[in-house]
């Protein structure tokens, strides 16, 4: 079953075509990686899919339904959740409070929301810190909190925007393990990442974009040996031997 289909997506900011005719599809249960040099338009594409920006042209379909121009909160109730590259915790509140905000999207009852939030916190090994203020967390825990909040909304598709940036290698390994468990729970994952070791290990397929256009797509192995990808990352002058 096709969970997300993006056709000819264009997003223009003034004179800049941040995303320029992007096509991609994700099937249910897959992990799709999106990579590209800085400024390639990865986060903009995410924001268009998640409803933050209305696309200038093209189509975004979630479970076959066209969702262009729908608001983030509507998409969230349909089962699309996301994290932010620059983490945005509700800093003055406890972790439990943070996650309960997400859990409230599926229930009005406080008791149920709390139960769900505790379950999610436990699964991400944050239970012991549930009463800590989000402002006092380390960056690794903040990234994990982002995922916890998104998970509490019971998503079918989860967009992860650089959840491993700034983490130490051991923390990256922990995060890779967490993302694998998400897939085991039946959540489809679409992730942007710069840490190649992680994205190569995780992704079923990878899409590479550069200047808003897709330049390559395939299994991690195929993408890694694609000449265009290497040139996009290392420059035109770099010879491939």
**Interface mask (CB under 8 A) for another protein, residues 34-53, using x and -?**
----------------x-x-
User: Using an 8 Å Cβ cutoff, are 194 and 162 in contact?
Assistant: yes
Rg from Cα positions in the chain:
18
Residue from the set 97, 127, 211, 233 that interacts with another protein by CB under 8 A? 97
In the complex, least distance from residue 233 CB atom to another protein, rounded to whole angstroms: 29
Closest CA to 152 of 191, 180, 126, 173: 126
Q: Does 211 bind another protein (CB under 8 A)?
A: no
106 or 183: CB nearest another protein:
106
DSSP β-bridge partners for residue 157: 80, 188
Q: Kindly give the pairing relationship between strand 188-192 and strand 31-35.
A: parallel
Q: 123-160 burial by CB neighbour count: b if 16+ within 10 A, else e?
A: bbebeebbeebbeebeebbbbbbbbbbbbbbbbbbbbb
Tokens representing residue 166 in the block: 């700034």
37 or 166: CB nearest another protein:
166
* Interacting span for another protein (CB under 8 A) from 28-36, 62-70, 95-103, 194-202: 95-103
SS3 119: helix
76 or 140: CB nearest another protein:
76
Residue from the set 90, 127, 211, 233 that interacts with another protein by CB under 8 A? 90
Q: Does 73 bind another protein (CB under 8 A)?
A: yes
Closest CA to 65 of 151, 2, 10: 2
Residue from the set 1, 108, 131, 184 that interacts with another protein by CB under 8 A? 108
In the complex, least distance from residue 118 CB atom to another protein, rounded to whole angstroms: 15
Closest CA to 209 of 225, 223, 195: 223
User: Which residues from 114-173 bind another protein, rule CB under 8 A?
Assistant: 149-150, 152-153
The count of C-alpha atoms lying within 13 angstroms of the C-alpha of 44, restricted to the half-sphere facing its C-beta, is 24
Query: What residues line the site for another protein (CB under 8 A)?
Result: 50, 52, 71-73, 76-77, 81-82, 84, 88-93, 97, 100-102, 104-105, 108, 110, 113, 149-150, 152-153
């Amino acid at each position: 079953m096709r969970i997300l289909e993006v056709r000819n997506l264009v997003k223009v900011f003034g004179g800049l075509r941040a995303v320029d005719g992007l096509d991609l599809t994700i099937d249910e249960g897959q992990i799709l990686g999106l990579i590209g040099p800085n400024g390639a338009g990865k986060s903009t594409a995410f924001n268009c899919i998640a409803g933050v920006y209305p696309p200038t042209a093209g189509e975004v379909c979630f479970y076959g339904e066209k969702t262009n121009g729908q608001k983030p909160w509507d998409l969230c109730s349909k089962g699309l959740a996301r994290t932010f590259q620059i983490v945005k915790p509700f800093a003055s509140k406890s972790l439990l409070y943070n996650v309960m905000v997400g859990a409230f999207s599926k229930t009005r009852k406080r008791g149920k929301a709390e139960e769900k939030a505790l379950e999610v916190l436990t699964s991400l090994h944050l239970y012991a810190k549930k009463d800590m203020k989000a402002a006092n967390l380390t960056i690794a825990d903040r990234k994990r909190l982002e995922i916890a909040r998104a998970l509490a909304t019971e998503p079918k598709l989860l967009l992860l925007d650089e959840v491993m940036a700034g983490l130490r290698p051991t923390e990256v390994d922990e995060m890779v393990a967490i993302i694998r468990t998400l897939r085991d729970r039946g959540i489809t994952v679409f992730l942007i990442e710069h840490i190649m070791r992680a994205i190569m290990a995780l992704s079923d397929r990878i899409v590479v974009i550069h200047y808003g256009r897709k330049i390559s797509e395939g299994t991690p192995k195929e993408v890694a040996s694609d000449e265009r990808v290497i040139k996009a990352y290392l420059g035109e002058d770099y010879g491939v031997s």
